């Protein structure tokens, strides 16, 4: 028997969990919806979510915090002037060795040489330049002095070209010539690129010959320029980070180190070309690096390069500029400065917006990202669930009109069919009645004594062939059964008698034409009533679209003028600084809506926090009056009376404690026979939905 394989399991440590479920964005959509309904824009809400992050994914604020910590760490790493300290220390060492050698040497020449050394300037750059033609007596001193030039040349070039470390060590003439040839060909390539005359073949030939100098293997000229410009810009910013005295000293030392080898002119040309090709990378101030330990040239440029990366990332992650997006973030810089984990976090944040679109919660329109109908349904469902969870235990939905007829809801009972009836016949129940009736007739028929008649199963039978006679055929799929005792055939078709026919009993429900008028004046947003108003509207819309599909809902928003709104338009509506509460226009549109549905129960619900202050002139021009004018009151009451004549149930939901509004609505309610309710903001949805369920029965159902 073969040995069964054994498996061991352990935690996954190499990147994101491959078995992790995809984004569950329903909670994210709930938060987005709640804030959008509260008056915030979708873009601002998404940006804030990206800043805070998801459950297990840090947000942009966390990445920016880590960047700030990294910047503080780099600033404390060392002193940018350390290269000058290194030069000064090496120069002191060379001079000490030379003085020891001169002290052992008699003669006037030795004394003159000692005098020359004693009168050297304090500036390391000037001292190095003055010692350029000095005849050293001590081989150790000469080697230390020459090491100063080699050190500077190696650090400057190795920082610019990462593949030069081996070539610059020692004094190999072939390596130095290869370096000069590379710089010459590089300048020719970049000059041709600046004129638009370079070719892919030219770049390929350059990399084939000089690729060892560029271990990062750029894919094209643009990548090569980006890498070189970033390093050159870091060197420039490092120089700007020094004091003026340090900058002058180091610049002169570097010039001396490169001048002897003929590299200064080629490097100067390269610097000018890179600056013309990528001018933006060379802008920026210097950095204050105030650590105690001195840094060499290469280390100093590296620190400044990292600080420049972090400064750029800080701006990219801040997303504070026009047209900002996470695609602008330099992923390579994130990995260099914060590691692969930060890159995974950034990719998760990038996927958030993509997943919201892919899963259908958002769609991209002419004005950018917008909520989709799927998100709207989710928001309405969530709001409705919160409302129903707050309702009392009594059966709030007792709104049925219990009249039997052609309707929607079955009761489970059946009624005899009557000639001329409007109800459709229930075919299944009718056939069952016929089968039961026939079985009863068979049971009551006498059969042969001494034998118990059993119902035979209906099986397909194959007729026996008769010699000289053709075998009869039967219709495909028809079932026959053998002759039962008594010789009576049971293969006859099932017959239906009039008494078999039945219809399903149903409960007829009323149909309502609902007009929900919501106040969009600026006072609603000032008093934090904007969000609850929108949530209530969406909850009512969701309730009607899912449970009362025959009802016709129209949402009417009003401030200086009224307008019809779809649920999506209402959800995305942002506050407008518009004065005026044109209730008359809203009631006019509500009246048109209920008159379009004459067979439905008219239900008009008004949510407002202020008395009417606007009306329409005969030519349709809106007029704002404060305090409320007689003309505005007259126009509003005229629309109230028109709605009352249609038999509409007109109820008001008063938000706030404005005494004048309270008096006005009480008077209107008495005039039209409606009601005024004053819910708290937290219970607005509960009041509106409950009142809708009560009012949709209407006077006709009673």
Count how many domains the chain has: 4
Residues 254 and 343 placed together within one structural domain of the fold = no
Residue 102's contacts (CB-CB under 8 Å, 6 or more residues apart) are 110, 113, 114, 117, 137
Tokens 């002095």 correspond to 145
Q: Regarding beta strands 512-519 and 552-558, do their DSSP bridges make them parallel or antiparallel, or are they unpaired?
A: parallel
CA-CA distance, 170 to 66, in Å (whole number)? 41
- Nearest CA to 82 out of 313, 314, 241 is that of 241
Residues 539 and 683 placed together within one structural domain of the fold = yes
Whether pLDDT at 614 is above 50: yes
Whether residue 363 lies inside any domain: the answer is yes
Residue 10 neighbours by CB distance under 10 Å: 5
Residues 579 and 624 placed together within one structural domain of the fold = yes
Confidence label for 472 from pLDDT (cuts 50, 70 and 90): very low
Task: Name which of 10-14, 120-124, 415-419, 655-659 the model is least confident about.
Answer: 10-14
Residue 513's contacts (CB-CB under 8 Å, 6 or more residues apart) are 551, 552, 593, 594, 596, 597, 600, 601, 602, 603
- Confidence (pLDDT) at 702: 40
Q: Enter the tokens of residue 388.
A: 């129903």
Which of 454, 480, 508 terminates a domain? The answer is 508
Please give the residue range of the domain that contains residue 57.
33-77+314-371
Q: Return the top range by mean pLDDT from 221-225, 387-391, 572-576.
A: 221-225
Torsion angle, alpha carbons of 146, 148, 151, 157, to 10: -90
Residues 610 and 500 placed together within one structural domain of the fold = no
Q: Mean pLDDT across the stretch 485-505?
A: 71
Residues 190 and 283 placed together within one structural domain of the fold = yes
Residues 331 and 266 placed together within one structural domain of the fold = no
Task: Name which of 261-265, 269-273, 325-329, 554-558 the model is least confident about.
Answer: 261-265
Whether pLDDT at 475 is above 60: no
Q: Mean pLDDT across the stretch 67-87?
A: 80
Residues 203 and 243 placed together within one structural domain of the fold = yes
Whether residue 467 lies inside any domain: the answer is no
Q: Mean pLDDT across the stretch 673-702?
A: 71
Whether residue 391 lies inside any domain: the answer is no
Residues 353 and 417 placed together within one structural domain of the fold = no
Whether pLDDT at 127 is above 60: yes
Confidence label for 231 from pLDDT (cuts 50, 70 and 90): confident
Q: Mean pLDDT across the stretch 465-475?
A: 43
442-to-335, 341, 449, 494 alpha-carbon distances in Å: 87, 82, 16, 13
Task: Name which of 10-19, 491-500, 620-629, 673-682 the model is least confident about.
Answer: 10-19
CA-CA distance, 289 to 311, in Å (whole number)? 14
Q: What is the DSSP string of 429-483?
A: HHHHHHHHHHHHHHHHS---TT----PPP-----PPP-TTSPPP---TT----PP
- Confidence (pLDDT) at 589: 92
Residues 421 and 551 placed together within one structural domain of the fold = no
More confident residue, 464 or 199: 199
Confidence label for 387 from pLDDT (cuts 50, 70 and 90): low
Residues 172 and 41 placed together within one structural domain of the fold = no
Residues 51 and 169 placed together within one structural domain of the fold = no
Whether residue 384 lies inside any domain: the answer is no
- Confidence (pLDDT) at 673: 82
Q: pLDDT tens-digit profile of 4-54? A: 567 676 766 666 555 555 566 777 777 777 777 666 677 777 888 888 877
Whether residue 466 lies inside any domain: the answer is no
Output the CA angle 436-439-442, nearest 5 degrees: 155
Q: Regarding beta strands 614-616 and 622-624, do their DSSP bridges make them parallel or antiparallel, or are they unpaired?
A: antiparallel
Confidence label for 60 from pLDDT (cuts 50, 70 and 90): confident
Which of 268, 287, 306 terminates a domain? The answer is 287
Whether residue 356 lies inside any domain: the answer is yes
- Confidence (pLDDT) at 456: 46
Whether residue 679 lies inside any domain: the answer is yes
Q: pLDDT tens-digit profile of 348-380? A: 888 887 778 887 778 777 766 777 778 777 777
Whether residue 545 lies inside any domain: the answer is yes
Confidence label for 159 from pLDDT (cuts 50, 70 and 90): low
Residue 287 neighbours by CB distance under 10 Å: 21
Q: Mean pLDDT across the stretch 571-582?
A: 79
47-to-52, 312, 352, 381 alpha-carbon distances in Å: 9, 19, 11, 25
Q: pLDDT tens-digit profile of 508-547? A: 556 888 888 888 887 777 777 777 888 788 888 878 877 7
Which of 287, 322, 357 terminates a domain? The answer is 287
Confidence label for 499 from pLDDT (cuts 50, 70 and 90): confident
Residues 200 and 325 placed together within one structural domain of the fold = no
Give the CATH number for residue 620: 3.40.50.410
Mean pLDDT computed over every residue of the chain: 76
The answer to whether the beta carbons of residues 552 and 390 sit under 8 Å apart is no
CA-CA distance, 90 to 101, in Å (whole number)? 17
- Confidence (pLDDT) at 441: 79
Whether pLDDT at 203 is above 60: yes
Task: Name which of 24-38, 219-233, 270-284 the model is least confident about.
Answer: 24-38
The percentage of the chain sitting over the pLDDT mark of 90, rounded to a whole number, equals 1
* Burial annotation 50-68 (CB, 10 A radius, 16+ → b, else e): bbebbeebbbbebbbebbe
């Amino acid at each position: 028997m073969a040995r069964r394989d054994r498996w061991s399991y352990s935690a996954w440590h190499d990147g994101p969990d491959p078995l992790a479920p995809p984004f569950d964005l329903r909670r994210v959509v709930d938060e987005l919806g709640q804030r959008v309904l509260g008056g915030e824009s979708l873009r601002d809400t998404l940006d804030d979510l990206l800043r805070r992050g998801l459950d297990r994914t840090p947000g942009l604020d966390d990445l920016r915090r880590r960047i700030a910590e990294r910047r503080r760490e780099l600033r404390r790493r060392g002193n940018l002037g350390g290269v000058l300290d290194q030069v000064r220390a090496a120069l002191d060492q060379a001079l000490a060795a030379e003085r020891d050698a001169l002290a052992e040497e008699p003669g006037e020449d030795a004394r003159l040489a000692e005098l020359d050394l004693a009168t050297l300037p304090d500036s390391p750059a000037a001292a190095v330049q003055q010692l350029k033609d000095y005849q050293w007596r001590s081989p150790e001193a000469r080697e230390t002095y020459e090491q100063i030039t080699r050190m500077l040349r190696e650090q400057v070039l190795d920082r610019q070209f990462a593949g030069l470390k081996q070539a610059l060590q020692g004094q190999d003439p072939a390596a130095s010539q290869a370096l000069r040839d590379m710089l010459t060909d590089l300048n020719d390539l970049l000059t041709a690129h600046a004129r638009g005359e370079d070719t892919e073949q030219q770049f390929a030939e350059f990399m084939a010959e000089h690729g060892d100098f560029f271990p990062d293997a750029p894919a094209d000229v643009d990548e090569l320029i980006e890498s070189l410009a970033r390093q050159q810009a870091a060197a420039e910013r490092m120089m700007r980070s020094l004091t003026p005295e340090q900058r002058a000293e180091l610049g002169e030392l570097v010039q001396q180190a490169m001048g002897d080898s003929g590299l200064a002119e080629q490097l100067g040309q390269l610097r000018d070309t890179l600056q013309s090709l990528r001018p933006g990378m060379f802008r920026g101030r210097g950095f204050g690096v105030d650590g105690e330990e001195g840094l060499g040239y290469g280390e100093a440029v590296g620190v400044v390069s990292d600080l420049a990366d972090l400064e750029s990332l800080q701006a990219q992650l801040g997303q504070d500029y026009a047209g900002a997006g996470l695609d602008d973030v330099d992923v390579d810089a994130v990995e260099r400065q914060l590691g692969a984990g930060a890159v995974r976090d950034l990719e998760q944040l990038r996927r958030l917006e993509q997943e919201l679109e892919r899963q259908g919660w958002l769609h991209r329109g002419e004005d950018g990202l917008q909520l989709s109908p799927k998100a709207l349904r989710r928001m309405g469902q969530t709001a409705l669930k919160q409302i129903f969870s707050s309702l009392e235990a009594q059966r709030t939905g007792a709104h049925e009109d219990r009249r039997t007829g052609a309707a929607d809801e079955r009761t489970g009972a059946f009624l005899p069919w009557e000639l001329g009836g409007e109800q459709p016949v229930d075919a299944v129940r009718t056939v069952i009645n016929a089968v039961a009736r026939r079985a009863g007739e068979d049971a009551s028929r006498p059969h042969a004594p001494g034998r118990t008649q059993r119902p035979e199963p209906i099986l397909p039978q194959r007729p026996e062939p008769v010699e000289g006679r053709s075998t009869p055929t039967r219709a495909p799929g028809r079932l026959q059964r053998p002759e039962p005792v008594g010789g009576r055939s049971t293969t006859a078709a099932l017959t239906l008698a009039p008494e078999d026919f039945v219809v399903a009993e149903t409960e007829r429900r009323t149909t309502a034409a609902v007009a929900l008028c919501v106040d969009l004046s600026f006072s609603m947003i000032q008093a934090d009533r904007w969000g609850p108003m929108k949530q209530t509207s969406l909850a009512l819309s969701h309730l009607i679209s899912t449970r009362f599909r025959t009802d016709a809902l129209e949402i009417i928003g009003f401030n200086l003028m009224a307008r019809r709104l779809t649920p999506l338009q209402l959800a995305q509506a942002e506050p407008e600084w518009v004065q005026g509460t044109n209730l008359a226009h809203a009631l006019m549109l509500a009246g048109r809506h209920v008159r379009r549905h004459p067979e439905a129960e008219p239900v008009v619900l008004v949510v407002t926090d202020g008395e009417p202050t606007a009306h329409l002139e005969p030519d349709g021009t809106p007029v704002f009056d404060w305090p409320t004018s007689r003309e505005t009151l007259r126009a509003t009451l005229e629309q109230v009376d028109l709605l009352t004549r249609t038999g509409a149930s007109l109820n008001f939901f008063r938000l706030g404690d404005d005494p004048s509004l309270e008096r006005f609505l009480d008077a209107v309610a008495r005039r039209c026979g409606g009601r005024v309710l004053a819910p708290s903001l937290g219970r607005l949805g509960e009041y509106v939905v409950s009142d809708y369920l009560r009012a949709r029965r209407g006077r006709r159902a009673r």
